[in-house]
Amino acid sequence: MSEFLRKKKIGQILIEMGVIDDQKLEWALQKQQETNQLLGQTLLGAGYITEDDLGIALAKQFDVPYIDLKDVTVSDEAKRSVPANLLQTGEFVPLEIVDKTLTIAISDPTNYELIDRLSTVTGYEIKYVLSTQSQIRAFLGLAPAGGPSQAGEGGGGEGGEGGEGAPQNDDPVSDVNLEFESDSEDDGGKADILKQQADQKPIILLVNKIILNAVNLRVSDIHIESWETKVLVRYRLDGILTEQMTIAKKAGPAIISRIKIMSDLNIAERSVPQDGAFSIKLGKKTVDFRVSIIPCAEGECACLRILAKENLKLDLKALGFSDIEYDRFNRAIRRPYGIILVSGPTGSGKTTTLYAALQSLNDSETKIITAEDPVEYKLAGLNQINVKINKTDPDRSLTFGKALKAMLRHDPDIILLGEIREHETADIAIKAALTGHLVFSTVHANNAIDVIGRMADMDIDRYLLAAAFIEVIAQRLVKTICKNCIEEYTPTEDDFKFADLHEPEHREIKYYKGAGCKACGGKGYKGRAAVYEILDIDDEIRAMIATNTSLYDIKKVGLEKGMTTIHGSTLAKIKKGETTIQELIRVNAA
């Protein structure tokens, strides 16, 4: 990366060449923000530069010669040194061999994978000069590709962080045969073919494009789905799935195989689910991905959860707490011992809330250990354990229960369990909370009151529960109104009815929504915030839990004592103009 940063930027070189002026560069930089394309591709697509212009500029940027292949003759020795299948990729032309050095012409000076591969295959050191992709393919007698290669833009353009961006051809799979035929039922043979396909540059570029676009858009999940006639890519942004691209059906196996290779999974296994992970480095930041592959009727489907630490809000005040909610939660997490439980559906921000709590307690005097399935974000100062189930040898599994027993022998002050699922873990967690440890965990329950019932269902003595509990929380995420297109409006009668807003005072509230604009992609929403239901366990409620009082009566007393609810928390955000009545209806129904 540092090598790229030292190079002169491609836009400046094109200006010095007299090909573009400052006005065209400024236009391209603005356009680049909208399209996420590399700068050279943006200028090329607009017709401001030619492919030769870009090739010459890249040659200047990387300080190598630029050649016109129409005037070149390839030596027989150079041609024989390279396997025919590599030539058919259309990525390079072998030119000559001098003193154990093979000189090639390429269009992408950052294709280090190709250079390393050629060096390994041929046994020669590799030296390169630059030409255009069109000239290379024409010289080899291949059909034109879907678009010129732009990967070698080095500095990438003034808007980027170097040459880490993947090329974005119009049709990255147009020049590769993705279909395979085999009379053999040998899975190993098919796996070899799939690996060859997954390693071809068009597939690598396509998967890179899907991933990098998702990171740039700050989405939470990438879904790659095999349908009857196509492969569909969808992104989950602010909790909503949106279709991004449709890919030819024949590309599906190679795409999934590429993701498996990146995640260190078995590409030969296509009949059972697989879970894995990988990381990519973008500039100075590292983005982690958690991968799940499942077999479906029309082929395998992949879901990639994006875990970008830079997107993680670890400031308690930034999570969405109201002043009252913040004071109550902040006071609870500073108790010396006891258990705090958080509930909510998958993707509701439970992990973020717990990490923010740990971060606020994390100092040199405090020992914090976590057990997670898996560790989503690595935080400095915490000892984090990956819980893992070994299906082939259950005795070697590291369950939450086993992890918790081991953690207690390491003299922790604070413990985080990713989830309490069954009696063993619940029993040890409660006993840990009663013996001088502060314990955080999550439980699957519909609301804060149901957390009490869920723990009791795990056959935990109600008296021990009452003694250990500090606070129980339920949370959801609501979409926030785009600040660029916010406008006041009047909800319909059905809106008031379904949102359970029947009081006259509810009609006096000013309601807002997003009209839809470029900044929010026409959706009217941009970003999300958490809403909370918080029940503090005081002596009266502790006595009710211990004496097996009904959950209904506990909730009634909790509300009388100021228990916040998801409905009330969301309504408070509506009054501030942060979210909509439609979001209140949605979380009310959850």
DSSP per residue, 240-255: EEEEEEEEEGGGHHHH
| Nearest by Cα to 589 from 500, 512, 481 | 500
Contacts of 301 (CB under 8 A, 6+ apart): 223, 224, 225, 226, 256, 293, 294
First-to-last CA distance in the chain? 46
DSSP 263: T
Q: Convert the pLDDT of each residue in 448-500 to its tens digit.
A: 999 999 998 899 988 999 999 999 999 999 999 999 899 999 999 999 999 99
CATH pick for 187-311 out of 3.30.450.90, 3.40.190.10, 3.40.1280.10, 1.10.1030.10: 3.30.450.90
Per-residue pLDDT, 510: 94
pLDDT band at 81 (very low <50, low <70, confident <90, very high): confident
Range from 115-129, 324-338, 432-446, 558-572 carrying the lowest mean pLDDT? 115-129
pLDDT band at 190 (very low <50, low <70, confident <90, very high): low
Give the whole-number percent of the chain exceeding pLDDT 90. Answer: 36
Calculate the CA 56 to chain-centre distance.
36
Range from 40-49, 53-62, 495-504 carrying the lowest mean pLDDT? 40-49
Range from 184-193, 256-265, 510-519, 530-539 carrying the lowest mean pLDDT? 184-193
CATH pick for 316-477+532-565 out of 3.40.50.300, 3.30.950.10, 3.90.1170.50, 3.30.360.10: 3.40.50.300
Per-residue pLDDT, 197: 61
Give per-residue burial for 34-62: e unless 16+ CB within 10 Å, then b: eebbbbbbbbbbeebbebebbbbbbbbbb
What angle is formed at CA 441 by the lines to CA 439 and CA 444, rounded to 5 degrees?
150
Tokens 């699957």 locate to 444
Range from 27-36, 335-344, 555-564 carrying the lowest mean pLDDT? 27-36
| Angstrom distance (rounded) from CA 449 to CA 452 | 6
Give the whole-number percent of the chain exceeding pLDDT 70. Answer: 86
Q: Convert the pLDDT of each residue in 309-330 to its tens digit.
A: 666 667 888 888 888 999 999 9
Highest-pLDDT range among 42-46, 136-140, 355-359: 355-359
Is 579 or 516 the better-scoring residue by pLDDT? 579
Per-residue pLDDT, 164: 32
Q: Convert the pLDDT of each residue in 4-23 to its tens digit.
A: 334 678 888 999 889 898 88
Is pLDDT above 90 for 271? no
Tokens 């314990």 locate to 439
The domain spans of the chain are 2-139, 187-311, 316-477+532-565
Tokens 């894995």 locate to 276
Q: Convert the pLDDT of each residue in 522-535 to its tens digit.
A: 889 988 889 999 99
Per-residue pLDDT, 319: 84
Fold matches, 187-311 and 316-477+532-565:
no
Is 166 or 531 the better-scoring residue by pLDDT? 531
Per-residue pLDDT, 207: 87
pLDDT band at 589 (very low <50, low <70, confident <90, very high): low
Mean pLDDT computed over 272-297: 86
Per-residue pLDDT, 196: 65
The rounded mean pLDDT for the chain is: 83
β-partners of residue 66 are 130
139 burial class (0-12, 13-18, 19+ CB within 10 angstroms)?
middle
pTM (2 decimals)?
0.62
In the sheet that 240-248 helps form, which strands lie side by side, from edge to edge?
Answer: 240-248, 230-237, 221-226, 299-308, 285-296, 274-282
Cβ count within 10 A of residue 545 = 22
| Peptide bond preceding 504 in cis form (omega within 30 of 0) | no
Helix residue ranges, H only, 127-269: 133-139, 187-198, 201-217, 252-262
Cβ 476 vs Cβ 587: under 8 Å? yes
Is pLDDT above 80 for 172? no
| Angstrom distance (rounded) from CA 385 to CA 373 | 9
β-partners of residue 530 are 477
Q: Convert the pLDDT of each residue in 359-417 to its tens digit.
A: 999 998 999 999 988 888 788 899 999 887 766 667 777 888 888 888 989 999 999 99
Mean pLDDT computed over 151-155: 39
- What type of residue sits at position 212? L
Per-residue pLDDT, 157: 39
pLDDT band at 216 (very low <50, low <70, confident <90, very high): confident
Per-residue pLDDT, 283: 67
Domain 2-139 in CATH 3.40.50.2000: no
Tokens 């819980």 locate to 387
Find the helix or strand (DSSP H, E) in which 221 lies.
strand 221-226
Mean pLDDT computed over 541-566: 93
Per-residue pLDDT, 310: 66
Per-residue pLDDT, 452: 92
Mean pLDDT computed over 514-519: 85
